[in-house]
Every structure is written in C-alpha cells, then in structure tokens.
C-alpha cells in the first residue's frame, strides 16, 4: 500500500532520489526485506515490544508542560510500547533554524524527531538521507495502517507522500468540524427583530438588512449615527469580513493560496477571475453607502474587540469570525448575535471555505542514526491508539474528563453521541498529562464533536456547533487543498506568491473603500501578470497534477 512511488520528476529531483537511496542506512530502516519484526509481539496487544528498547527523542521544549519525563502521556507510551524515552530539546525560539544547523553540522542525531515538519523540509531532509523513508515501516504498523486502509485514509495519502514517492514525516490528523467550516458570519438578531427582518440568506437580503441597521436606529438610543452595520479587522481568525463574503461570488480558497482548478484542469488564481471583481463591486457598494466600515482594512483584532464590546451600548450589526471566543466569555454583546448561513450571491452561487482537517500535518520523523527504527515506528503507531489519543487531547479519564451520562453532545444534531464530559479542562493550561498534541495522533471527528454542552447558550463552542450544520458541505466539489512542492518548485515561486498576495490584499482594500476605482481592474490584472502569476499557476499545476496522479 505505501511502497515507494517514483513519479515523472524533473532531473534534479530524480538525482536527489538517487542520492537518497545511496544514503539509506542498512538495517531496519531500509526496504521491507530489512525490517526485523522479531522484537514485536502480536500487533494490537501490549506490550508492543518483547524486550525494552531505549530511544532518544528530539522535541520542542514547552513552558506549558511540567516535565516530559514524568508526563502521563510519556508514561503510557513507555509502558504500552515497552520503551525508555530519553528526551533532548530544541529551544522554542528559532527551533527550525537550530534544527537545520544541527542537521547540517553532521552531528549524530537522536533516534526520533517529534515536531512539525513542513512538507518541503520533510522532503529535503529525506532526500538528503537525514530522515528515513517510512513507507515500509508504516506497512508493519497496526493502528496507522488500519486507518490508512480506510476510504478516508486512502483519500489523504497524496498529502503525506513527498514528490519522490516516499513518506518522511509521520502524519498527524486532528479532525474538527468547527475548524473545517470556519468562515462563519454573525448577525445581530436583536436588531433584525427591531427592524422586522429575518436572518439573510442572499447577498441582496444582507444588503437590505445592513441598510436597515444604518437608517433605523436599531439600538434605540436616539443616535442615528452610532451603529456600525458590518465590520471586520486585519488579523483576527477569519475576521476580515471581505473574505467570507467573497464566497458568495467565487470559491476564494484563501486558506490554500487562493488556487482554483479551471475548466481546462489547470490551476488559476481566484483573485484574478471576473467573479472576484463582482465580489469587489458588491463590497464597494456596501462600503460606499456606509454599511461596511472602512476600519475593516486598517484596525487590528484588539481595536476590533473594543468596538464589538462597546461598554455603553451595542453598536455592531454584523461581523465575521471563526469563533465567538473573540468576545469575552461573559459578554453581554455576544448575546445579540446569531450565525448567518453562507449567502447566495446575485448569480446564484453560494459556497464556504473547507479547511480539511483530515489533511495530515507531518509531525514526526525517524532519523538515519536511529538504532531501532521498528521500535521508533511502534511509538508513533501507538500514538494513533484511541485511548492514547483521548489522553493526548483531553487528559486523564475520570480525572480530567469522563464518559457522559444523560447529556447531549455539542453536535447531537449531526448524529454525534456524547463522549467527553469535562471534569477538569486542562487544554491550554500548564499541566503534565499530555504533550498538547505536538506529535502524531488520530483525533477523529467524534472526539471534539462528542464534547457535551455545558448548558450555556452563549458558550462559544456551542454557538459554533449551532452554526456548523448551516455551513457543512457548502463547498465546491474537489477544491484544491494543500499542494506538496519540491524544493526547486517552492524556491521558484516563493517570492512570487508572497508578492502576489500582498498586492492582492492591498488592492482589495483600495477597490472596496473606493481609493481605487474598479475601472482599474485590467491594470490590476496586468500587474499580477508582471509579478509572475502565470509562472506561479504553472508550477502549482505541476504539483497539483502530480499529487492527483497519486
């Protein structure tokens, strides 16, 4: 299933693959014939290894974890796998750079590196022979292999293969419906009731609601000028206002570099399409009539919070935010707000962003200096064990959480049963129960979705859970998600991509606020081409088609 795949690659990449194979050490890390499973008990039973193995592990230091050596998550690994882990630490500041120096110096590496790897770094270190290919080793696992052989597991394989067909970074899957459908829009239900309108379902209805908010004094204080119908900011989590609204005109795909598949199968940039211009025209109409605040394009999240939490009276009619945790937990202003579903645009188009939390991150690797790659892979595989996964996110069962009795889950409406009833919520606190999921894991949808509701109707997680059913599956078919580039490809477009997006964001602000007329659209497109949009799309298309071939 996970054998090495050699694809049609540029000569440079093929050369790297050949160098890699020459550098692969002999022993358990090589091909399937070199893997010695003699120290492994029957898979699925404990302890996994017959005889204890000592392994060294490099990990990022953490100020929120008391002690990795005595951590409960560590203790469970050592007991169930039958290993003794000796930790080495990367300082939190400049960890990537320090790892790079450590590797380039040629010093002996720990057996395992358990931290995040970008797809490019995993490929580069792997092709240099620093990291072992994991394909054949994963084929010997229990929990991981079982998952990758499911339909869902098969669908993510293209994201874990490097361009040479090898797997160098162990995948971490952290599924969350609230994060998958995160471009949420919120509207003031109290004000809608005051002006006699329902929650909008189209961009025209939204315009009418904002117009009513602007002209009808919905907060009832006698001041017709203090209401801000619609507002966002520049750096909050999906609080930009314009991006979520643009999905009523085109599939923006802003979390995956704004790339779309065109009719010819090649990739194109959403912000260069006619539909994007239509979205700009709509947003400009809102802004020119005082319905979308121009502060959206200048203020940061802290300034935004001061507006939405205005102490004297409610002044905000609508906003976009990935989570209502942007408000304080006891906020009175939050109680006016309800979610608004994705809006149908003037041409009948409607969509929302899909983040794709089934797409794994690379969060672990086995080095060329590993004494026992089989023992190392069994450690990573055990991290996929369901009980270990629950410990790794929620803490100790019956101490930090328990199986619920007589309670509904947050996502009961979507069929998820109750699973997690918090006793002592420790996520984000200083604790010694887990590693804060900074490791391979298989956290499935039912875990977060099975968290029980506290009973607070204005709890931010509950408000998200109420919103998600109106967003789920409102996505185009087969969106372009994460692309895995070769180093050569990435280097050739890195500056282009950054410059394109900077110019686009600057231009959006100018077009929407009226600082630049939309009659300049052709000039905008020409400048995009001068920056290198065509080359960027060509390189992205090569990576996309290579991955689709997998």
Single residue among 391, 413, 447 that ends a domain in this structure:
391
DSSP single-letter state for residue 228: E
Q: At 345, is the secondary structure helix, strand, or coil?
A: coil
Q: Are residues 73 and 156 in the same domain?
A: yes
Give pLDDT, residue 100.
94
C-alpha–C-alpha distance, residues 443 and 438, integer Å: 12
Quick check: is 470 in a domain?
no
Residues of the chain with pLDDT under 50: 5-33
Phi first, then psi: give them for residue 486, nearest 5 degrees: -75, 165
Q: Are residues 77 and 171 in the same domain?
A: yes
Give pLDDT, residue 25.
33
Q: Are residues 347 and 363 in the same domain?
A: no
The residues that bridge with 259 in the sheet, in sequence order, are 269
Give pLDDT, residue 10.
36
Query: In degrees, to the nearest 5, what angle opens at C-alpha 425 toward C-alphas 422 and 428?
Result: 150
Could you report the per-residue pLDDT of 139-198, keeping only the tens digit for each?
999 999 999 999 999 999 999 999 999 999 999 999 999 999 999 999 999 999 999 999
Q: At 261, is the secondary structure helix, strand, or coil?
A: strand
C-alpha–C-alpha distance, residues 74 and 71, integer Å: 5
Q: DSSP letters along 81-107, please? A: IIEEEEEEEE-STTHHHHHHHHHHTTP
Number of independent structural domains in the chain: 2
Give pLDDT, residue 34.
78
Domain region containing 122: 11-177+359-391
Q: Are residues 136 and 58 in the same domain?
A: yes
C-alpha–C-alpha distance, residues 281 and 396, integer Å: 53
Q: Are residues 150 and 198 in the same domain?
A: no
Helices then strands, counting H and E runs in the chain, come out as: 20, 15
Give pLDDT, residue 3.
59
Q: Are residues 64 and 199 in the same domain?
A: no
Q: Are residues 199 and 336 in the same domain?
A: yes
Give pLDDT, residue 1.
60
Quick check: is 321 in a domain?
yes
Q: What percent of the chain has pLDDT over 70?
A: 94
| Burial classification of residue 167, based on how many CB atoms lie within 10 Å of its CB (0-12 exposed, 13-18 middle, 19 or more buried) | buried
Could you report the per-residue pLDDT of 33-64, keeping only the tens digit for each?
479 999 999 989 999 999 999 999 999 999 99
C-alpha–C-alpha distance, residues 249 and 349, integer Å: 6
What CATH number is attached to the domain comprising 205?
3.40.190.10
């Amino acid at each position: 299933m996970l054998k090495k795949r050699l694809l049609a690659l540029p000569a440079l990449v093929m050369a790297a693959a050949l160098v890699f194979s020459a550098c692969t050490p002999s022993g358990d890390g090589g091909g399937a014939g070199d893997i010695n499973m003699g120290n492994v008990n029957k898979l699925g039973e404990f302890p996994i290894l017959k005889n204890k193995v000592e392994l060294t592990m490099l990990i990022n230091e953490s100020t929120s974890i008391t002690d990795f050596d005595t951590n409960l998550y560590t203790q469970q690994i050592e007991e169930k796998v039958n290993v003794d882990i000796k930790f080495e630490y990367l300082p939190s500041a400049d960890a990537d750079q320090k790892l790079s120096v450590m590797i380039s110096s040629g010093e002996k590496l720990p057996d395992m590196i358990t931290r995040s790897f970008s797809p490019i770094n995993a490929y580069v270190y792997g092709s240099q022979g620093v990291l072992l290919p994991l394909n054949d080793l994963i084929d010997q696992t229990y929990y991981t292999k079982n998952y990758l052989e499911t339909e869902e597991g098969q669908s993510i394989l293209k994201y874990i293969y490097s361009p040479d067909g090898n797997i160098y970074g162990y995948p971490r899957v952290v599924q969350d419906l609230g994060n998958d459908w995160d471009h949420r829009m919120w509207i003031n239900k109290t004000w809608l009731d005051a002006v006699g309108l329902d929650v909008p379902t189209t961009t025209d209805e939204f315009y009418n609601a904002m117009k009513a908010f602007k002209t009808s004094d919905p907060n009832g204080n006698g001041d017709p000028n203090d209401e801000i119908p619609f507002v966002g900011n520049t750096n909050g989590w999906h609080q930009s206002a314009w991006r979520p609204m643009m999905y009523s005109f085109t599939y923006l795909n802003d979390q995956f570099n704004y790339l779309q598949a065109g009719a010819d199968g090649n990739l194109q940039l959403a912000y260069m399409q006619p539909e994007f211009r239509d979205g700009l025209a709509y947003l400009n109409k809102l802004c020119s009539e005082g319905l979308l605040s121009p502060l959206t394009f200048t203020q940061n999240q802290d300034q935004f919070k001061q507006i939405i939490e205005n102490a004297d009276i409610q002044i905000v009619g609508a906003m976009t935010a990935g989570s209502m945790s942007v408000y304080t937990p006891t906020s009175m202003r939050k109680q006016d707000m309800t979610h608004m579903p994705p809006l149908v645009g003037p041409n009948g188009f409607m969509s929302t962003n899909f983040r794709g939390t089934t797409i794994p991150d690379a969060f672990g690797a086995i080095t060329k200096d590993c004494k026992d790659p089989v023992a190392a892979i069994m450690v990573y595989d055990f991290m996929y064990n369901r009980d270990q996964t629950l410990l790794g996110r929620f803490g100790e069962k019956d101490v930090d959480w328990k199986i619920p009795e007589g309670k509904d889950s947050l996502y009961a409406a979507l069929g998820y049963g109750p699973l997690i009833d918090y006793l002592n919520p420790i996520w984000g606190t200083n604790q010694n129960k887990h590693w804060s999921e900074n490791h391979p894991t298989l956290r499935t949808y039912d875990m977060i979705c099975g968290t029980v509701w506290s009973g607070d109707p204005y709890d931010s997680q509950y408000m998200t859970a109420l919103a998600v059913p109106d967003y789920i599956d409102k996505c185009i078919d087969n969106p372009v998600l994460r692309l895995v580039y070769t180093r050569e490809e990435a280097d050739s477009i890195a500056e282009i991509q950054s410059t394109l997006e900077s110019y686009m964001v600057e231009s959006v602000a100018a077009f929407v606020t009226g600082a630049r007329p939309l009659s300049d659209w052709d000039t905008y497109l020409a400048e995009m081409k001068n920056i290198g949009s065509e080359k960027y799309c060509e390189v992205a298309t090569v990576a996309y088609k290579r991955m689709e071939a997998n």
